[in-house]
Amino acid sequence: MTVAGAGSGSGVGSGAGAGARSGAGSGAGAGAGAFEPATGDGAPVPPERARARAAEVRTAYEGLRQIRRLVNAGDDGRPGDPAERPAPWERERPLRAVSLALEAAGVPASAVDAAGRRSETGYVVRAGEEPGTVRVSWLGPPGGRAAEEEAARLAECRSVLERAGWDALLYRGPRHRRYVEVAALR
């Protein structure tokens, strides 16, 4: 599924305002094709694109929720609960789906500058060690407060993802840095 347009904060969090500021995936903010959710490893969204980006995120997320309603329908044919469990598309593309859920909830994404240096503090979603999993970290520029914010902000990410039907477990990794390992509930 390629989401052309955007996503919505309805249901998972408080809206897309904060998440729209930075860290979009490839091509975000450039208007150069399909919508890509912010993974935290992209360039910051330019301020003049923030409102448009927030609208795109709302549209994409609402589209995903509609897909969930259809594919999660019960045996009686009634629409399913969109928060119940990720749709097959999400289970096949957990990096994009988890990034979209976080961005739609208004959680800020990290970002990197043109030289590849971390320029914004926020979530970063990367492939996990096991197939079908992703890892959410809280990163920021050197000298920033990312390490101090990490516990509270990753707890927020975990809560957002659990409400969106994901299995999210908090771990402590090397150098005592925390991360959330995320997998789809079945």
Q: How far apart are the first and last CA of the chain?
A: 20
Pair of tokens at residue 91: 């289970």
Residue 61 has phi, psi (to 5 degrees) of -70, -40
Residue 28 has phi, psi (to 5 degrees) of -65, 140
pLDDT at 11: 36
pLDDT at 29: 43
Cβ atoms < 10 Å from Cβ of 151: 13
Query: Contact 119/45 with Cβ under 8 angstroms?
Result: no
pLDDT at 174: 83
Label residues 98-125 b or e (16+ Cβ within 10 Å = b). bbbbbbbbbbbbbbbeeeeebbbbbbbb
pTM of the model: 0.82
CA-to-CA distance for 183 and 87, rounded, in angstroms? 12
Print pLDDT tens along the chain (186 aa): 333 333 333 333 334 444 444 555 544 444 456 899 999 999 999 999 999 999 999 999 999 999 988 888 766 666 667 677 899 989 999 999 999 999 999 999 999 999 999 999 999 999 999 999 999 999 999 999 999 999 999 999 999 999 999 999 999 988 889 999 999 976
